[in-house]
Amino acid sequence: MKRKSSVRSVVDLAFKLLAARARTELELDRALAKAGFPEAERKSALARLRELGYMDDREVARGRARSRIEQGDAPRLAARRLEAQGIAPEVASEAAEEAAGGSGEEELAAAALRRRLRGRPPRDEREKNSSNISLAYEKGLREMKDQNYLEATGIFEYIRNNYPYSQYAALAELALADMQYQRDEYLAAANSYADFVKAHPSHPKADYAAFRVGLCYYQEKPSDWWILPPSHERDQTPVKQALDAWNKFVISYPKSEYVTRARDLINDCRQRLAAHDRYVAEYYAKREAWRGAAGRWLSIADNFGDLDEGKLRGESLWRAALAWRNANDLPDERNALLRLLQESPRDPHRAEAETMLKQLPADAPRPAPLEKEQPSLEKPPQK
């Protein structure tokens, strides 16, 4: 049975509840609902308390964040706790970061441990375990530095599996990924870094992990070794994966310290992919598969035309026009020449392109499609 109430009595009870301890709006609303007040009266009372300045989730978040950080919570864990108490995610994250004061997780954990022990030995098993996690993590780092990977892996896996809510659990996950990278297990490391970013998107080292995803794929790129065909003639899948990872990285973490390096590597990947496409186009042209060659040159113009200060666009459109001419496809030749004049007006082939355009009939028909394509020319061999 609901109690008889008025807005005044709701506000009176709210004042009593707030006098006992600070509460978020969600917590106060739940307490009032438990006392039997209907939703409309609760909303009206909460609005009145906000007017009077008694409800401020941001201030509550600051106080609780300081308390959680002092107890050893990492900022991301403190923020999640605040969100569970009804604090808006952006307010919770801001309060946690402010409470951390720019300190790293390891520094915060060490400070919390010093405050807890105050120079005395651990009084119980829980304190001892907390101290041991920090020591174990530091030992794992030393073993990893000394390349004792088997020992380090055991330590980090123990921390991750037995203390999943400790700030060291995430750091242990990252260390395991770093060891995979150091042991040249690049594809496994890429998956581990990607899993870290997915599981800890707001972690201070999430940008590092996201950058390393691309670096892992990049390490798998074809190399120029004298006994093998040139790298641009071989499969470029790892380069495409690295490019995709870094493009996502610079969008997701525009202020990261790794952005400048990522942009340089993005340019390198695009140069490699353009060189591969050029090889494919020339492969088609040598076998007089003119349509395949033209299509590939147009792809280079569209995807990589800005490279070499834009010169690649003009060259690719010119080569596409010549391929269309050899295929006797006058309408597509015209389109390629018009694009060259419009998009690359300073190209050295401009005058020749204008002459060729004047020679082309405006209503030239398209050639009949080939009765039989040449599947063997559809894709050059990956060496």
- The DSSP code sequence of 166-209 is SHHHHHHHHHHHHHHHHTT-HHHHHHHHHHHHHH-TTSTTHHHH
Same domain? 80 vs 61: yes
Name the residue range of residue 373's domain.
287-377
Same domain? 17 vs 100: yes
Amino acid at 54: Y
359 inside domain: yes
Same domain? 75 vs 161: no
pLDDT of 198 over the 50 cut: yes
Mean pLDDT to the nearest integer, 82-95:
87
Task: Tell how far CA 348 is from the center of its chain.
Answer: 41
* pLDDT, the chain, mean: 83
Same domain? 91 vs 121: no
Same domain? 368 vs 319: yes
pLDDT of residue 250: 96
340 inside domain: yes
pLDDT of residue 278: 93
% pLDDT > 90, the chain? 41
pLDDT of residue 63: 87
Residue 82 CB partners (closer than 8 Å, separation 6+)? 61, 64, 65, 68, 91, 92, 95, 96
Same domain? 63 vs 112: no
86 inside domain: yes
pLDDT of residue 56: 84
Band the pLDDT of 155: cuts 50, 70, 90: confident
pLDDT of residue 101: 77
Q: What is the pLDDT of residues 256-281, one digit of tens each?
A: 999 999 999 999 999 999 999 999 99
Compute φ and ψ for 347, nearest 5 degrees.
-65, 140
Mean pLDDT to the nearest integer, 66-94:
80
Alpha-carbon gap, residue 234 to 238, rounded angstroms: 11
Band the pLDDT of 112: cuts 50, 70, 90: low
280 inside domain: no
Same domain? 63 vs 119: no
244 inside domain: no
pLDDT of residue 162: 77
Same domain? 51 vs 128: no
Helix axis angle, 149-162 to 167-182, nearest 10°: 150
Same domain? 332 vs 343: yes
pLDDT of 95 over the 80 cut: yes
- Helix (H) or strand (E) holding 218, with range, is helix 206-219
Alpha-carbon gap, residue 265 to 213, rounded angstroms: 13
Alpha-carbon gap, residue 32 to 51, rounded angstroms: 18
Q: Which two tokens stand for residue 195?
A: 């899993």
Contact call for residues 14 and 23 (beta carbons, < 8 A)? no
Among 60-69, 235-244, 340-349, the range scoring the smallest mean pLDDT is 60-69
Number of domains in the chain: 3
43, 72, 104: which is the final residue of a domain? 104
Same domain? 109 vs 83: no
253 inside domain: no
71, 104, 137: which is the final residue of a domain? 104
Among 17-31, 66-80, 327-341, 367-381, the range scoring the smallest mean pLDDT is 367-381
* Single pTM value for the model: 0.60
pLDDT of 376 over the 80 cut: no
Alpha-carbon gap, residue 383 to 276, rounded angstroms: 12
183, 204, 237: which is the final residue of a domain? 183
Higher pLDDT, 128 or 264: 264
191 inside domain: no
Same domain? 138 vs 82: no
320 inside domain: yes
Same domain? 100 vs 110: no
Band the pLDDT of 105: cuts 50, 70, 90: low
